[in-house]
Amino acid sequence: MLTVGIASLEVLTAIRAYVEGEGLYSKGQKDAVYYLWRYAESHAEQDYEAYGASIARPLGDRDARLALITAPPDLERARAGFLAGGNNPDDVGRLIWFFRLFHHTPPFLHEIDLWTRGDAYTARIVQTAEAVHRDPAGLREPGANANFQAVLRDVTVGITPIENEFSATLGDVARQATRWLIGVSTLFATVIATLGLHGIRARRRDRAQHDAELRRSEARHRLFLRNASDGVHILDEQGRVVETSDSFCRMLGYSRDEVMELQVPDWDARVAERGPDPAHGRFALPTRFETVHRRKNGSTFEVEVHVEPFEAAGQDYLYCSARDITELRRLERAVLEATTREQRKLGYDLHDELGQELTGLSMLAASLSAVERAAGRPAAERLSEIEALARQAIGTCRAIAHGLSPLTYQGGDLVRALEEMVRVQGAGGSTHCRFSVAGRAPLRLAAETADNLYRIAQEAVTNARRHGSAREIRVLLEIDSSTVRVQIEDDGIGIPERKKEEAGMGLSIMKFRAAMIRGQLSIGRGRRGGTQIVCTCDQLRDVHGQSAINSAS
């Protein structure tokens, strides 16, 4: 019964992988155009090599698709293609089986058609690049440079609507997959388990050379930038906008002139938590992060931002590319909420219905065994065995119900559920686990929020015991009138920085759950040398003076 739940998480993770893969594919095409443009002007091999690295991504994805539509599919070739396309190695297996499972559905067939149309533009880029590389000087012939620019301009303009349609169709695929999963979970009376700009780094050049190149290519770069599908914007060291794409202006609802007068706090609702790092003269930002942008009319929307620092004319700049993920997050929340509801229902059915029936069976077997034993009949031993098996089944049923929906098993009480989880994790082992509650405010959390907080804490404690070599784990639940904070701290070996960057399945699921409840998750070094994981989320507004869902007295 847990298989469908695991499959649900895998499907949602595969959908997320396809969303990221689409971004890598389109970025590879546009980066290839950018570096090919630079090579045509500089004739520098490093620019052509950068072009080759960029075009390898869409070419790799094309090879993977061709390998999967052959009969029989060439799985090794598909794996190699997805890896060449820059996809995370942990996601490649999911990409392959998701394609094989859903490629015959109408939305995915349309997705493959868009993919194929995008490959045609990739082929034009490759053909143009090979011609230019064979004879770079040929661009100086009359009309040759104009034809070259026209080809790349057509490619840049042509791929944008394909990318937009690809993203929209991918949403249809996600919705169809969600409906399929819910249908399967209903059929088997089970529950779906919870889920869960690269490459631009300018080389240092002679200042006069770089300024001359910047002036010559300014018009071409602006054309490329203005037609970008993502919300591209370039910031100087003070956080001021020095260039922006038209799509970023539309995203925020400002005119281009208005955007050029803005600074990051004007549109990023969370910038205060990240600000520039004066000690390094650079922006204290990860290369990829999620945040919330604010439109001119005051409304907000979630975005994923890719950033890359670069230097031009001795000045530091930040290249930023923002993608609206509102629809993706809505779909993810819908799947997660459906999963949680089904888990809660199945846990209730197992504990309160099947458990009661098994209890009745055990009592009946015990009663018949006593009657048979009093009569001296041999059937008494068999009936005693049935009673023992029924009691064992009751214990198994309750354990499964608790694992599926711990909060339901504890009557929706988050405090009791965390306390029981910590007690079970620390029982019979070498790791001492402690749980405490701070604050006297009542808990006002939606059931899905409380469930996700519990799962984050459970994952963190499990990781500390299994992988962190922790001798002591402390779980603290802090409650005040507006926020709830769960802190898990251990004295183990900690998480290496490389592991944080790679973000394994456990860390990825915790980050995903925090995003689903619009919470803030931080992972760092603890005060005692191990790992400290903190998740903070808002309480529901208490409009009647009473808590909507109160699991703490």
Query: Would the CATH topology of 197-324 be identical to that of 411-538?
Result: no
pLDDT digit string (tens) for 205-238? 567 666 666 566 565 555 556 556 678 888 888 8
Cβ pair 343, 245 in contact under 8 A = no
**46: phi then psi, degrees, rounded to nearest 5:** -65, -30
Q: How far apart are CA 126 and CA 55, in angstroms?
A: 8
Q: pLDDT at position 484, please?
A: 94
Tens digits of residue pLDDT in 163-207: 666 666 666 666 666 666 567 666 654 444 344 334 445 455 567
Q: What is the pLDDT of residues 63-95, one digit of tens each?
A: 887 888 888 888 898 889 888 878 888 888 877
**Contact between 110 and 171 (Cβ < 8 Å):** no
Domain-wise residue ranges, the chain: 1-196, 197-324, 341-404, 411-538
Query: Which CATH number does the domain 411-538 belong to among 1.25.40.10, 3.40.640.10, 3.50.50.60, 3.30.565.10?
Result: 3.30.565.10
CATH assignment, 197-324: 3.30.450.20
User: Closest Cα to residue 473, out of 494, 495, 453, 492?
Assistant: 492
Whose CA is closest to 38, among 173, 162, 253, 209?
209
Intervals of the chain under pLDDT 70? 1-12, 14-19, 21-22, 107-108, 137-146, 149, 159, 163-182, 184-206, 208-229, 272-286, 333, 335-345, 347-353, 355-356, 394-411, 428, 496-505, 542-553
- What DSSP line would sit under 34-66, residue for residue? HHHHHHHHH--HHHHHHHHHHHHHHHHHHHHHH
Q: Kindly report the average pLDDT of the chain as a whole number.
A: 75
